[in-house]
Structure 1
Amino acid sequence: MALSLSRGAAPWTLAAIAGLAQAASLALPGTGQPLWWLQIASLALLARVLLAAPRTARGGAWRAAGLGWLFACCWLVGTFWWLFISMHTYGGLAAPLAALAVLALAAFLGSYYAVACGIFWASVGVNKAWTAIIFAAWWLLAELARGQWWTGFPWGAGGYAHPDGPLAVLARSVGVYGMGFAASLLAMGLAQWCPRDLRSARWWGGAALALLVWGGLAWQREAAVRDVQANAGAPVSLALLQGNIPQDEKFQPGSGVPLSLAWYGEQLRAADAQLVVAPETAIPLLPQQLMPGYLQGVTRRYREGDQALLLGIPMGSLEAGYTNSVLGFAAGLGQPYLYDKHHLVPFGEFIPPLFKWFTEMMHIPLGDFARGGVGQASLPWAGQRLAPNICYEDLFGEELAARFVDPAQAPTVLVNVSNIGWFGDSIAIPQHLTISRLRALELERPMVRATNTGATAVIDHRGDVTARLAPHTRGVLLAQVQGREGAATPYAWWAGRFGLAPLWLGAAALALLAWRRRWRRA
């Protein structure tokens, strides 16, 4: 008996399986590698299930919305299940409540995709090309909503499966969300394809046009990468520190705090690389809480010599407010360089309204930070412009792009300092590495990463990992990075000036145009 995609449990089962496959495509369990083809195939399976829904069924739009919601829930839970570790293992929240919180977040974010699938079902029906466009436009709108509304949580967006695939050529032009649009367009095209399409001149013409556009973008990308001059000086030697301080001890005065101060202090005094980077909250105390002379002692050589240091440390006071910050030290600066984190993590770094009770259960120190500005200045040093970002700030490429508006101040090297020890030995580490790779592809600048537990790594301007330290080890990654400068990528140009508004407007215009065409022919 043939499997029915329109009735019974089959479509719901396939939607759930497709959602889990979508999660696996972002970082395959066991290897952590993204699989671009699996991302497209899993989304194509959802698209096929949506197309199979009877057009005359009562409540068909609600059915499509339910299938989209189930797919998204399985995808999102499979992507960020490690939030359970931060809430239960390190936050002290009871296991059932922590699991419920992860499910509730996935269910809430999945509602965006439910709406997208419901409207798609109601507006499909012109032809295969417009069906694919409608689906891709609404899927993009759902991705953008997840990435920006309620402060945004875009972790695991579909485009992050494509740093190595054929769609990587799109990163410099349209960014990770544009890549996701193209992937969903291909997925719906694949879901609709049948052998008799090979007899259609229109199909062959569309395929030839798509191949021509892809070839042009690939050529343009290679030409642009060659033209981005490595004239920001010679390669810079690096010492990237990975303390691997246990997260449950990190802020404890009798264990993690003295361990951090001793180990990082020793490494900062001994490092002989040109640029030394210590991760987010490597120093887990405010400067005024440190023993007298400690900070001055470990940074003196950088303030007086030819080395530079970027150091993660909390700053501020109860009266002025706390910030999650990076201090920079180099000769000739006068005052230390200061970068304050702008995009804060809900619950971990700021408390949303009405949720004070939740953070009190989590017992996270300094749970309510002040924000830094968007597009803060880079650290100028030895012909380089070093642009820090902290932890999951590198999820928001449009905010990093704001630093490229003034070409004279555009970064030559991006530097991410992170501590995702909150999530244990989980898939979060390779997922975050892939996120940084996408930023390097979008902006065509190298990304240097120094983390507490991993992934401490160097990523070149092509998005390739050139050096990496084993996660969950205590050590120093000695490597080199070549700064890059030159014309900003198209993505950096428009996203730096307008944010994601062009994608919002483009997707909305396509969705409305397709809807109009559908009802004209109805």
Structure 2
Amino acid sequence: MIRIPSQLTPRMGLVLCAAAGVFAALGQAPWGLWPVGLLGYALGIWAIAGSATPRAGFVRAWVFGAAHFATALHWIVEPFLVDVAATGWMAPFGLIFLAGGLALFWGAAGALALWLGAGSRLMPLCVALTLAVAEALRGFVLTGFPWAQPGHILIASPGLPAAAVFGPLGLTLVVLLGAGALNLARWRLAGPGLWVSALAIGALMPAAPPPAPEAATLRLVQPNAQQHQKWVPEFMPIFFDRALTATEAAPQGADPTLIIWPETSLPELLNRSAAARFDIADAAGGTPVLVGAQAYGLDGRPRNMAVLLQDAEVTATYEKHHLVPFGEYLPLVAPLFDLIGVGGLAERLAGGYQAGEGPATIDVPGIGPVFIMICYEAIFPGYVRAVERPRLMAHMTNDAWFGDFAGPRQHLALTQLRAAEQGIPVVRAANTGISAVIDARGRVTDTLPLNTAGFLDVALPAALPPTIYAQTADGPAWAVALMGLAAFYGRRRCIVG
């Protein structure tokens, strides 16, 4: 066991873990202080590794995680403040339960590490491995929430393009193993060496090629409908007119091949929207428009969806398949919530949203297959691999729920990671912003600022050949993590046996 952390008093250890959690979170957007984040993880692992027992390891790791998630995900209070009178009282509880709940993954990792690596001089590496596995599990347990992971601090660094090799779990391993190695006297230089290697791989990758001379033109529409006004009857026509005005505006260059509106931007139910669709078709002048819409299915349950309109006709649809827990539906005990009249925060139609069948593309004339991600779906790295490789990823979202600071910027950062992982460009139409164009290396090439109404005309960015991560997914990273834990387990059995 390393000696220095064991000299900490229990109280000092908890204070140190809380401070380390805050420092680690500062590597996330919007701060992007990734060097501070790296040192925060090193400090947290140092404190956890010096715990006297697995129980103490759980407590220190839980505090580390709770401080990290409370800092990084403080924007989670924003949806509750859209209607302060009705839901404002829930805001502090939302943050406490989210941060504390997610921190349970880290607490379990700390306890496991102290049990698995008991007496080992390599305890910091064991802590790093268990934390990495905990973060991987957090990405899919109970539908998953892979937001503000350790590897995400590298999105703001020159190492972002290295996601094409490592993927999100691999980047998390790079951050945590480097942090663990920094705590070992004989391996101390290996920690920064691992970080520098990943940064160098990303920095030395060739930039994404520029759009082809004959590339299609895309128009991204941002109507800037503030959430507290979005569904108020007297404001709905204003926001719809803003979107129509942006749709029919004179092109900034070549005529658009496709116009993209944000999530839920059609102001009426799809099957009652004939007049609105004709207005859109008239404004688009024959150009296809990808619109966020809502509709009731044949089962009587509402859908959050994207529809492709051509001359007012719906020619293709995609139904959002990964819904937001407690936002678009209430998990586990929905009938109980129904009885007391409580629904999801983003639930605009009675009954709670029904999930679609799964990931899908829409074939757009002049572009090819476009992979659709509606809001929350962009935080999951694996869905695009479930379809034939698309030419483009389109993210349609309403980030007005998330406030004006960290939430929208973190959401944008995650779409950058999706582009860099796959080598496929992303265009992002966001209701209040940040609408953006992201090239195949994850670089943001153009944006519309938050809380601004307008549009962007952009050339379709070039795609790259399938990346290493696109072909292997998280398999190599899982292999590294599990082999490392197996080695610690084998050592423990030898000692105990």
Q: TM-score range by the shorter chain?
A: 0.7 to 0.9
Distance apart, 1:132 and its partner CA: 4.6
After TM superposition, the structure 1 = structure 2 runs for residues 213-292 of structure 1, keeping only pairs within 5 Å, are: 214=198, 217=201, 222=205, 234-255=214-235, 257-270=236-249, 272=251, 273-290=256-273, 292=274
CA contact 1:173–1:490 (8 Å) conserved in 2: yes
**SS of 2:230 mapped into structure 1:** coil
Q: 1:284 to 1:73 in 2, by over 3 A?
A: farther
CA contact 1:416–1:450 (8 Å) conserved in 2: yes
Q: Alpha-carbon deviations, 1:431-473, whole Å to 9, x = none?
A: 1111111111101111111101111111111111111111111
Matched positions, count:
484
After TM superposition, the structure 1 = structure 2 runs for residues 316-465 of structure 1, keeping only pairs within 5 Å, are: 316-317=296-297, 319-330=299-310, 335-355=314-334, 356=337, 357=340, 359-360=342-343, 362=345, 364-366=347-349, 368-403=352-387, 406=388, 410-465=389-444
Q: 1:330 to 1:489 in 2, by over 3 A?
A: farther
- Give distance in 1, aligned partners of 2:199 and 2:78: 44
Which residue in 2 is equivalent to 1:103?
96
Which residue in 1 is equivalent to 2:111?
118
- Give distance in 1, aligned partners of 2:70 and 2:81: 16
Which residue in 1 is equivalent to 2:150?
158
- Give distance in 2, aligned partners of 1:519 and 1:41: 33
Q: CA RMSD in A?
A: 3.1
- 1:520 corresponds to 2:468: no
Which amino acid in the other structure matches residue 132 of structure 2? L
Which residue in 1 is equivalent to 2:71?
78
Distance apart, 1:246 and its partner CA: 1.6
**SS of 2:170 mapped into structure 1:** helix
Distance apart, 1:124 and its partner CA: 2.4
Which residue in 2 is equivalent to 1:57?
none
Distance apart, 1:181 and its partner CA: 1.1
Distance apart, 1:44 and its partner CA: 0.6
Q: Alpha-carbon deviations, 1:42-92, whole Å to 9, x = none?
A: 1111111123334xxxxx211111011011111111122222121233375
CA contact 1:173–1:489 (8 Å) conserved in 2: yes
Equivalent residue in structure 2 for 1:494, among 472, 482, 486: 472
Q: 1:295 to 1:214 in 2, by over 3 A?
A: closer
Which amino acid in the other structure matches residue 352 of structure 2? D
Q: 1:149 to 1:350 in 2, by over 3 A?
A: same
Q: 1:185 to 1:348 in 2, by over 3 A?
A: same
- Give distance in 2, aligned partners of 1:8 and 1:445: 48
- The percent of aligned pairs where both chains have the same amino acid is 25
- Give distance in 1, aligned partners of 2:237 and 2:180: 55
Which residue in 1 is equivalent to 2:42?
44
Q: 1:97 to 1:517 in 2, by over 3 A?
A: same
CA contact 2:126–2:488 (8 Å) conserved in 1: yes
CA contact 2:288–2:308 (8 Å) conserved in 1: yes
Distance apart, 1:350 and its partner CA: 1.8
After TM superposition, the structure 1 = structure 2 runs for residues 146-225 of structure 1, keeping only pairs within 5 Å, are: 146-165=138-157, 167-193=159-185, 197=186, 214=198, 217=201, 222=205
**SS of 1:326 mapped into structure 2:** strand
Which residue in 2 is equivalent to 1:294?
276
CA contact 1:309–1:328 (8 Å) conserved in 2: yes
- Give distance in 2, aligned partners of 1:484 and 1:106: 37
Q: 1:106 to 1:380 in 2, by over 3 A?
A: same
- Give distance in 1, aligned partners of 2:39 and 2:192: 21
- Give distance in 2, aligned partners of 1:504 and 1:275: 39
CA contact 2:440–2:464 (8 Å) conserved in 1: no
- 1:480 corresponds to 2:454: no
**SS of 2:147 mapped into structure 1:** coil
Distance apart, 1:395 and its partner CA: 0.4
Q: 1:144 to 1:382 in 2, by over 3 A?
A: same
Runs of at least 5 residues in structure 2 that lack an aligned partner in the other structure: none
Q: Using structure 1 for the length normalisation, give the TM-score.
A: 0.83
- Give distance in 1, aligned partners of 2:51 and 2:215: 57
- Give distance in 1, aligned partners of 2:379 and 2:341: 25
- 1:511 corresponds to 2:485: yes
Distance apart, 1:329 and its partner CA: 3.2
Distance apart, 1:174 and its partner CA: 2.9
Distance apart, 1:346 and its partner CA: 0.8
Which amino acid in the other structure matches residue 51 of structure 2? A
CA contact 1:3–1:10 (8 Å) conserved in 2: no
**SS of 1:284 mapped into structure 2:** coil
Q: 1:175 to 1:86 in 2, by over 3 A?
A: same
**SS of 1:136 mapped into structure 2:** helix
